[in-house]
Amino acid sequence: ANPSLLILAGDGIGPEVMDQVKRVIAWFGDKRDLSFDVSEDLVGGAAYDAHGTPLHDDTMARALEVDAVLLGAVGGPKYDDLDFSVKPERGLLRLRKEMDLFSNLRPAQCFDALADFSSLKKDIVAGLDIMIVRELTSGVYFGEPRGIFEEGNERVGINTQRYTEGEIDRVARSAFELARRRSSKVCSMEKANVMESGILWREVVQKVRDADYPDIELSHMYADNGAMQLVRAPKQFDVILTDNLFGDILSDCAAMLTGSLGMLPSASLGAPTGDGPPRALYEPVHGSAPDIAGQGKANPIACILSFAMALRYSFDQGEEATRVETAIEKVLADGARTADLMGEDGGTPVTTTQMGDAILAALDQS
């Protein structure tokens, strides 16, 4: 059977960028004899409009069956006043929770043609290709006790940084597996100097490496120094493994080393299902961009790169993933730019569809 893919385009520019991904998927069927069993459904505001819920139970069930889910974006001003329980974001949160996607992969890759776009000097970022693995389902965003409590005559806000050995173990394995597909180098970041959870994190990560991944070159770094090193000399890293809170901050920081939100893909992985690949959801980092929705201005590259990640991590098609990335590199080198990739002086931007045309043409030549 063909590998199965559930497409949830969502709201705003989600469907616009996903249209270009669908063309790339069709190209693989036509030209590379690589076909997918694609189903499509609603998520977010679009699902709310149709069903009164941001994720229908049938969609959730389908997401648990398929080899991978590809999501566009959810949300928009139309839904801002909805009750919290049916807000578009809740659809995405439910997917992440029920698929138990504990490992969030955020690449920071610098396409040479865009190196001038970085906020850093060109030689610091040119050729940059690193991956941050962020624990996504535990830590201080979820730990109990949490809340705002009365204490004496004032209130106190409390969150708890909490990690079990099992939670650290599984995300460490996911980072080591990933590293084996790259340079086999992992740097784990925590604050073991001041946090007990950090001490345990460092200990468990080292133990997993020593027991089952002796081929991995593992180093440890305090997360604050890590932030500094990311901006000073990011190319010293390959895979960075870190917890939910530090990963949130470090991945946003790393993302901006390379320029536009319209270029950034992501993957969220769960536990392997039997002998198969892990549960997986792929999505661009950006949101539904209501300010440009419906105008043909959206950059489809983040979503297409998310599909490339699916090719590599869910469908074991690393070479085909590289084919897509190389086509994008070529299109950028040839000068095609959506509006978000243009400086002040500008030129004429290409539309979402024209960017798709250019990428398909580059694939044809590959």
Tokens representing residue 292 in the block: 């440009």
| 262 secondary structure, DSSP code | G
Is position 191 annotated as part of the catalytic site?
Answer: yes
Residue 138 interacting with ligand NAI (CB under 6 A):
no
Q: How many helices (H) and strands (E) does the chain have?
A: 12, 12
Give the span between the Cα atoms of 123 and 129, in whole angstroms. 13
Q: Looking at 178-186, 195-203, 237-245, 281-289, which segment touches ligand NAI (CB under 6 A)?
A: 281-289
Q: How far is CA 22 from the centre of its chain?
A: 19
- How many beta carbons lie within 10 A of that of residue 56, not counting itself? 18
Give the span between the Cα atoms of 5 and 112, in whole angstroms. 31
Question: Using CB under 6 A, which of 261, 342, 360, 361 touches ligand NAI?
Answer: 261
The interface with ligand NAI within residues 64-83 (CB under 6 A) comprises 73-76
In angstroms, give the least distance from the CB of 127 to ligand NAI. 24
Q: Looking at 132-140, 192-200, 284-292, 353-361, which segment touches ligand NAI (CB under 6 A)?
A: 284-292
12 is in an annotated binding site: no
Q: Are strands 278-284 and 68-73 parallel, antiparallel or unpaired?
A: parallel
Integer angstrom CA distances of residue 41 from 20, 256, 307: 17, 32, 17
Site string for Mg ion, 231-270 (x = CB under 5 A): -----------------x---x------------------
Contact status, residue 246 vs residue 195, Cβ threshold 8 Å: no
Tokens representing residue 141 in the block: 């965003």
| Residue closer to Mg ion, measured from CB, 167 or 248 | 248
In angstroms, give the least distance from the CB of 256 to ligand NAI. 12
Give the footprint of ligand NAI on this chain (CB under 6 A).
Answer: 13, 17, 73-76, 89, 92, 261-262, 283, 286-292, 298-299, 302, 340
Give the footprint of Mg ion on this chain (CB under 5 A).
Answer: 248, 252
Binding residues: 76-89, 96, 106, 134, 224, 248, 252, 287-299
Q: Which residues are catalytic?
A: 141, 191, 224, 248, 252
